[in-house]
Amino acid sequence: MTDWLLTPKPNPDSSVRLVCLPYAGGTAATYIRWADRLPADVELIAVQPPGRSSHIHVPPCQNMNQMVRGIHKALQPYLDGKPFSILGHSLGARVAFELVKRLQRSGEALPRRLYVSASRAPHLATLRNPTSTLPDEMFLEKMRQMGGMPESILADPEQVALYLPSLRADFRIVDTYRTRVTQVPVPIHCIYSREDEHIDPDDALAWAAYSGKGFASQEVAGGHFYINDRSDFWDGFASTLDRHN
């Protein structure tokens, strides 16, 4: 483990790495359980941003640049020539896109594929009412409606006090992130659900404009957090991992 990364099953003999970025308020735990399902030659790297879980007392990132800069720095030991792909869910998809842009600007290796899951295309990301500035009661009710935080946390005042700063910080990134359509020389694989009450399918498929090297899409069933409990997502996603070429 580095400050920002968890590697549940380190595998120096792997042929490819998969770097996974969490949704707003999410943790590396979302992805750690994937380690037992991935092919043996795929090494999982789960991003654990500050302000949550084992880093709960570390100040969270306040903007997109700070988040991307921290992930980029933590990834340096893994940019050793071994192929890798990046996956991000919801806010994590937009962070992943900005990470790819940063890698491109610095002349470093680019991922074989960028997976963007449950996310509208970046230039559409601001077409929503701000969440981060809501009063506490309304903000927590919004978290309940979205379904990403366990009720055991939302119903416990002590837990809420611990997690509220990082939740608000993540949604501040959601609310303030701005960008234009910019193509990256990386294939983009878009995953979406028509049952997702937060992301319109057309807004998700608009990611096609961001790839200069091919675009694919995968429709799955389930709500916004289908990555937590849908086997059809997993089966379709795992079959696309580039492992041997």
In which domain, by residue range, is 220 found? Answer: 5-126+180-238
Closest CA to 40 of 237, 189, 244, 231: 244
CATH number at residue 56: 3.40.50.1820
Is residue 81 in some structural domain? yes
Q: Which residue type is seen at 242?
A: D
Of 228, 229, 223, the closest CA to residue 195 belongs to 223
DSSP string, 15-77: SEEEEEE--TT--THHHHGGGGTS-TTEEEEEE--SSSGGGTTSPPP-SHHHHHHHHHHHHGG
Overall average pLDDT of the 59-84 stretch = 95
pLDDT (tens digit, 9 = 90+) per residue, 11-23?
A: 999 999 999 999 9
Which of 68-82, 132-146, 201-215 bottoms out in mean pLDDT, i.e. has the lowest? 132-146
Q: Regarding beta strands 188-193 and 215-220, do their DSSP bridges make them parallel or antiparallel, or are they unpaired?
A: parallel
Question: Is residue 162, in this structure, part of any structural domain at all?
Answer: no
Residue 108 lies in a domain: yes
pLDDT in tens, 221-242: 999 999 887 666 777 777 787 6
The label of the residue with tokens 């789960």 reads 46
Number of structural domains, the chain?
1
Residue 166 lies in a domain: no
Please indicate, yes or no, if residue 112 is contained in any of the structural domains. Answer: yes
| Residue 1 pLDDT | 43
Separation between Cα atoms, residue 131 and residue 126, nearest integer Å: 11
**pLDDT for residue 98:** 98
**Residue 154 domain flag:** no
Instruction: Give the CA angle between residues 214, 216, 197 to the nearest 5°.
Output: 135
Residue 164 belongs to some domain of the structure: no
pLDDT for residue 57:
86
The phi-psi region of residue 81 (left if phi > 0; otherwise alpha if psi is between -120 and 50; otherwise beta) is: left
Q: Taking residues 72-76, report their average pLDDT.
A: 96
Quick: pLDDT tens for 121-167.
999 866 567 899 999 999 999 888 888 777 888 889 898 898 899 99
Mean per-residue pLDDT for 54-69? Answer: 92
The tokens of 19 are what? 């770097």
Give the SS3 label for residue 163: helix
Rounded CA separation 26/30 (Å): 7
Q: If you average pLDDT over every residue of the chain, what do you get?
A: 90
Q: Determine the pLDDT at residue 245.
A: 45
Q: For the segment 162-202, what is each residue's pLDDT rounded down to a tens digit?
A: 889 999 999 999 999 989 999 999 999 999 999 999 999 99
Place of tokens 């483990």: 1
pLDDT above 70 as % of the chain: 95
Element (H, E) at 167: helix 157-176
In a domain, 133, yes or no: no
